[in-house]
Amino acid sequence: KPLRNAAVLIPVVDHDGEATVLLTKRAEKLRNHSGQVAFPGGTIDATDASPEAAALRETFEEIGLGQDRIEIIGRMPDYVAGSGYRIAPVLGIVRPHFQLTLNADEVDAAFEVPLRFLMNAANHKRDSRIWNDLEWFFYDMPYGDRRIWGVTAGIIRTLYERLYA
């Protein structure tokens, strides 16, 4: 079956002295990927002019962060997820001192992780699990009581490889 197209925003917050990445914890009540750490984003709609537009729209719908606070820097290579999505990761710089309004139907929490933690390969653990009789490999980047893994960690790893490898 064909891949579904989605877009996510990689929101790098430009704090003085230390950049962070803004991540969400998906609502526990969601049917798919409930409770997982994720970038804001979702399916690209027919009305979206581009993956960038979809990422900005979804970010506003999920966490209330407006595009007036986000400068799009560019797009990473598409990331194909085992769940049947082709994801366009959009890199954006976010001006700090924003107010978030979480959409409780989609997001349980939003939090920031230092970019230097995510860009340190020592924090990228490789793991695997058997699913539908296939072994799937993924990255796992535990941060405090948060578990960043799967597609989100894979996109972070791609960003690391583009910038540092």
pTM beyond 0.75: the answer is: yes
Q: Which two tokens stand for residue 71?
A: 């400068």
Average pLDDT over residues 99-110: 94
Average pLDDT over residues 85-99: 96
CA angle 34, 40, 46 (to 5 degrees): 100
User: Above 80 in pLDDT, residue 62?
Assistant: yes
Burial 76-85 (b: 16+ CB within 10 A, else e): beebebeeeb
Question: How many angstroms separate the CA atoms of 165 and 147, rounded?
Answer: 24
Give the start-to-end residue ranges of the domains of the chain: 4-119
The count of residues in the chain is 165
18-61 pLDDT tens trace: 999 999 998 877 666 667 899 999 999 999 999 999 999 999 99
What's the CATH code, domain 4-119?
3.90.79.10
Confidence (pLDDT) at 129: 84
Q: Which residues pair with 48 in a beta bridge?
A: none
Confidence (pLDDT) at 114: 97
Average pLDDT over residues 72-100: 94
